[in-house]
Structure 1
Amino acid sequence: MTDLPTILLIDDEIRSLESLERILCDDFEVRTAATIEDANAILEQDWIQVILCDQRMPQQSGVEFLKSVRQRWPDIIRMIVSGYTDAHDIIDGINEAGIFQYITKPWHPENLILTLQNACRLYALQRENELLAIELKMSPSGARKVVADRRETLRKDYDFDDGIIRGKASPMNDVCATLRQVAPYDVPVLLCGSSGTGKELAARALHYGSLRWNKPFVVENCGALPDQLLESELFGHKRGAFTGAVEDHVGLFERASGGSVFLDEIGEVSPAFQVKLLRVLQEGEIRPVGSAKTRKVDIRVIAATNKNLEDEVKAGRFRADLYYRLAGMVIRMPDLKDRRGDIPVLARALLSRAMDHLGKQVQGFSDEALECMQTYHWPGNVRELQNEIQQMLVMGKEDTLLGADLLSRHILRADRSQDQEDADMLDDLEGTLKDRVAQVESRIIRETLIRNRWNKSKAARELGLSRVGLRSKLERYELEKIKPLPSVRRAAS
């Protein structure tokens, strides 16, 4: 018995067939046939997942053979290999034989293996979909209950109170109150804020708190695609509308009809695409690329940007009429540096998720680690905090507290009393030259002590100081007063 997928190679040239078999036998269970008759006999007996057939066979062309295979065994993934790139053959192969891939000679072994593996995955997905369809037919009420239960779970996950994690006196409380107030009303919402502040999380909370909560919620990053691809993704396209459009494609707006569409980085779209998007919002209808007909859609648009769109409008880079269509309600997301009281709660929640994801358990954070996190200004916001916590978890020891020594150096160097924009910059330092040097020296000593777990001998050696010299500086900068207390050995609750 083997778990390898089974493929059938068909070629009348024996040497070519043997060469293919040698290359593919490690990754697939290979069957070979030199004639159409042999191929049909194998298909009658074996469970074949993918066929790779040469186009120029003596009895009939590869496309003609695969047309007959499509009628008898439609689930098999069909592929053609040929040394000739006749456009007519390619078109016939795609339209009549349902060819998955047309491979030209000479082929590259690694590319061929990868293509065949993708074809086998496609076959497996088809089988899974068939089984799922059978299950749905056998138990429609059970399927409906499963879907309903999952939707209800999602709704709870993105609840304004439980889904958006924050402290008791958080600036996010006002944001959540506004989200809760706006959610039931079918108005467009524009979410503004820096990257990583949780705009997509807020968008999902809006959707699952609305009357559309049991309909689709789809996301598109408008800054990641050029105009043509973005138009195709959102509005769909007809087959042949552009190079590579080999079949009709239903756009996100049509797939999400009845639900909500989240357009992230809306400030990045070009002026030309802004006009097309404006029409959709005004008329409530889309026109797929390459189609002469429009289609009605019923969607709620939630957009997000890290730019100041009002400034973009004044500068002529963003259409004023589109801005007012998107900004039915404007909600601004605060930066993490303005939510310092939320950091311990957020850090513990992110750590819990990271432990589940990585399968590694620790006792929590030390008090000193949480204090350092609250001191740092987090220019990357929650996303940066998440990455830092994951790194701490990977580097920390299992079933222990994650200490401040596991934090990155730039976080440890952050000043305890200031909100500097960059811990490595000196712009925030004040006073005479002597005062500024003292502030920098204090930060360096504190960071070195934390990283060495307050081992003064190691810190002194690293800094090139004697123990007496280090002790003198600790007294001068009052760093002895912030030495961690025994309580850091307890798990943070």
Structure 2
Amino acid sequence: MTETVANILIIDDEVRSLETLERTLSFDFNIYTASSIDQARQILADEWVQIILCDQLMPEMTGVEFLQEVREKWPETIRIIISGYTEAEDIITGINQAGIYQYITKPWQPDNLILTLQNAVNLFELQRQNELLAIELKMTADSAQRIINARRNRLKDAYKDDNGIIRAENSPMDHVCDQIRQIAGYDVSVLLCGESGTGKELAARALHYNSLRWDKAFVVENCGALPDELLESELFGHKKGAFTGAVNDHTGLFERADGGTVFLDEIGEVSQAFQVKLLRVLQEGEIRPVGATRTRKIDVRVIAATNRDLEQEVREGRFRKDLYFRLAAMTIQLPPLGERRDDIPVLATYLLEQAMKNLNKKVTGISSEAMECLKTYHWSGNVRELQNEVQRMLVMGKENEVLGADLLSPRVLMSVTPDEQQGMSLLSSFDGTLKERIENIEVKILYETLVRHRWNKTKAAEELGLSRVGLRGKLERYGLEKVEQLPAAEAGNR
């Protein structure tokens, strides 16, 4: 790539001085000459000039006065005065008013003059690069803002119609979603109650993204995971040197979320000492970082969650009543997954799709037999446990095949009751005579063994110590048949 030669305009009313400068500089630069201010103005209007080298004593005006004019019209041009006079007042005026880069005195040395002009050219290029970088940074900032806004809008859209909560038709979660829609727009604190894994954080995000604070920060803290000292620092921040290990100032989550929402999960686990500190923050709307002497105003909406019965905790003196009422301006109760049996196929299908993306493995779905097992299990760990079970099935299953019941964990498999199959009603309880109770157990063992061996009756009979004829007789007696596999896509989500 050819290097561009800089354009330099020399202005001097003395023809001999002008010619000498042109001869000296023309080898290194592209030279324009002007013996008057008017000629200089015309050249500047017609040509792109990087450097002006102007004599101080010109007939029309001083060089400093002309360079003041240049500064207004062509501010990017580097301006240099050359003169035989070195009056301090002229130099100061030139620097302050005309923004002059150098004041060169006569007689000048050719090498020094060329070096000065080369430095001026470098400065010009650096100025241009700086301007381009500033433009690029502005464009980058604008692009980043557009990306952030697009992501925020996608998040808002994800929680708009059904609050992002996956469920079937006529689900118990419909009432929860109705409450979220009703409450979200009002700037009040909300307490989410329910067992671990029921989706309290998801509900908190739905409340945030349907609120007026949706375009501000949403931050999460698990209050049960940290001791008081660390929790205080994490939420309210700390100053450098406030405690051992505090090597820098730390901004707390409340300050980071200013204008947005703070979600305090497992709020029932905090100590009574910390409850007092949190109550003051909620009452006063201000925080004081650990080690700080001054408080800071904050504006956040607090959403808290607990798997405890906080009203019972209040009655028994383990949770402050005043803090409870600060947190529970509105309360939403999330049902356990065991009360949402019809949601399980929809949830399992959705969780499988997410797992396939995360693990980069594709299968064609979950068999109806496996789905029946999932629907029957009690799910003490709720949606989180279901998520782990689906992920386990995907890992253990074969690529591009249906995930069968044989891939389920033993605890899930042993709890199955395919109610639609004749004879399976015996599994619904253990009431009845001794004979009926023994038959209940026998049916359960038969079914679990068959599923584990993928309905290979020869292997199941061998394990149970039965002949194939004996096994067939028991299957006919109890009406045990393999449930046909259906595409998992049959379970769509809302």
Same fold (TM over 0.5): yes
Alignment partner of 1:339 is 2:340:
yes
Q: Is the 8 A contact 2:370 2:403 kept in 1?
A: yes
Seen in structure 2, the aligned counterparts of structure 1 residues 135 and 180 have a Cα distance that, compared at 3 Å, is: farther
Distance 2:135 2:340 in 1: 50
Residue 354 of structure 1 corresponds to which residue in structure 2? 355
Deviation at 1:443, TM superposition (A): 1.0
Residue 192 of structure 1 corresponds to which residue in structure 2? 193
Seen in structure 2, the aligned counterparts of structure 1 residues 314 and 370 have a Cα distance that, compared at 3 Å, is: same
Seen in structure 2, the aligned counterparts of structure 1 residues 256 and 436 have a Cα distance that, compared at 3 Å, is: same
Deviation at 1:377, TM superposition (A): 1.3
Q: Is the 8 A contact 1:367 1:492 kept in 2?
A: no
Deviation at 1:147, TM superposition (A): 1.1
Q: Secondary structure at the match of 1:185?
A: coil
Seen in structure 2, the aligned counterparts of structure 1 residues 380 and 133 have a Cα distance that, compared at 3 Å, is: farther
Seen in structure 2, the aligned counterparts of structure 1 residues 491 and 279 have a Cα distance that, compared at 3 Å, is: closer
Deviation at 1:151, TM superposition (A): 0.6
Q: Is the 8 A contact 2:163 2:206 kept in 1?
A: no
Distance 2:151 2:134 in 1: 18
Q: Is the 8 A contact 2:262 2:303 kept in 1?
A: yes
Seen in structure 2, the aligned counterparts of structure 1 residues 162 and 303 have a Cα distance that, compared at 3 Å, is: closer
Distance 2:401 2:418 in 1: 29
Distance 1:391 1:145 in 2: 39
Deviation at 1:155, TM superposition (A): 1.5
Alignment partner of 1:484 is 2:483:
yes
Equivalent position amino acid for 1:465 in 2 = L
Q: Secondary structure at the match of 2:342?
A: helix
Alignment partner of 1:270 is 2:271:
yes
Residue 260 of structure 2 corresponds to which residue in structure 1? 259
Seen in structure 2, the aligned counterparts of structure 1 residues 445 and 147 have a Cα distance that, compared at 3 Å, is: same
Deviation at 1:453, TM superposition (A): 1.5
Equivalent position amino acid for 2:175 in 1 = D
Equivalent position amino acid for 1:441 in 2 = E
Q: Is the 8 A contact 2:349 2:488 kept in 1?
A: no
Deviation at 1:133, TM superposition (A): 10
Q: Secondary structure at the match of 2:454?
A: coil
Cα displacement string for residues 359-410 of structure 1 (whole angstroms, at most 9, x for unaligned residues): 1111111111111111111111111111111111111111111111111111
Seen in structure 2, the aligned counterparts of structure 1 residues 190 and 133 have a Cα distance that, compared at 3 Å, is: farther
Alignment partner of 1:163 is 2:149:
no
Larger of the two Rg values belongs to structure: 2
Residue 324 of structure 1 corresponds to which residue in structure 2? 325
Seen in structure 2, the aligned counterparts of structure 1 residues 195 and 392 have a Cα distance that, compared at 3 Å, is: same
What number of residue pairs does the alignment pair up? 351
Q: Is the 8 A contact 2:341 2:375 kept in 1?
A: yes
Distance 1:242 1:490 in 2: 59
Seen in structure 2, the aligned counterparts of structure 1 residues 364 and 342 have a Cα distance that, compared at 3 Å, is: same
The 5 A counterparts of 1:43-442 are 136-161=137-162, 163-416=164-417, 429-442=430-443
Cα displacement string for residues 76-109 of structure 1 (whole angstroms, at most 9, x for unaligned residues): xxxxxxxxxxxxxxxxxxxxxxxxxxxxxxxxxx
Seen in structure 2, the aligned counterparts of structure 1 residues 490 and 295 have a Cα distance that, compared at 3 Å, is: closer
Q: Is the 8 A contact 2:223 2:266 kept in 1?
A: yes
Distance 2:309 2:330 in 1: 15
Deviation at 1:137, TM superposition (A): 3.3
Q: Secondary structure at the match of 1:261?
A: strand
Distance 1:311 1:322 in 2: 14
Q: Secondary structure at the match of 2:462?
A: helix
Q: Is the 8 A contact 2:193 2:306 kept in 1?
A: yes
Q: Secondary structure at the match of 1:250?
A: coil
Cα displacement string for residues 29-80 of structure 1 (whole angstroms, at most 9, x for unaligned residues): xxxxxxxxxxxxxxxxxxxxxxxxxxxxxxxxxxxxxxxxxxxxxxxxxxxx
Which range moved further: 153-162 or 210-219?
153-162
Deviation at 1:432, TM superposition (A): 3.5
Residue 13 of structure 1 corresponds to which residue in structure 2? none
Distance 1:468 1:458 in 2: 13
Q: Is the 8 A contact 1:158 1:201 kept in 2?
A: no
Distance 2:356 2:235 in 1: 36
Seen in structure 2, the aligned counterparts of structure 1 residues 279 and 148 have a Cα distance that, compared at 3 Å, is: same
Residue 45 of structure 2 corresponds to which residue in structure 1? none
Q: Secondary structure at the match of 1:340?
A: coil
Residue 3 of structure 2 corresponds to which residue in structure 1? none
Deviation at 1:416, TM superposition (A): 1.7
Cα displacement string for residues 161-218 of structure 1 (whole angstroms, at most 9, x for unaligned residues): 1611111111111100100110000010000001110000000010001000000000
Deviation at 1:434, TM superposition (A): 3.2
Equivalent position amino acid for 2:483 in 1 = P
Deviation at 1:271, TM superposition (A): 0.5
Q: Is the 8 A contact 2:258 2:300 kept in 1?
A: yes
Distance 2:252 2:448 in 1: 52
Equivalent position amino acid for 1:321 in 2 = D
Q: Secondary structure at the match of 1:219?
A: strand
Distance 1:204 1:230 in 2: 21
Equivalent position amino acid for 1:299 in 2 = V
Seen in structure 2, the aligned counterparts of structure 1 residues 469 and 136 have a Cα distance that, compared at 3 Å, is: farther
Distance 2:289 2:428 in 1: 53
Distance 1:144 1:415 in 2: 51
Seen in structure 2, the aligned counterparts of structure 1 residues 183 and 490 have a Cα distance that, compared at 3 Å, is: closer
- With normalisation by structure 2, the TM-score equals 0.68
Distance 1:458 1:157 in 2: 48
Distance 1:135 1:318 in 2: 54
- With normalisation by structure 1, the TM-score equals 0.68
In structure 2, the gaps of 5 or more residues are 1-132, 420-426
Distance 2:345 2:418 in 1: 18
Distance 1:356 1:458 in 2: 35
Distance 1:226 1:391 in 2: 33
Distance 1:212 1:223 in 2: 26
Distance 1:291 1:452 in 2: 66
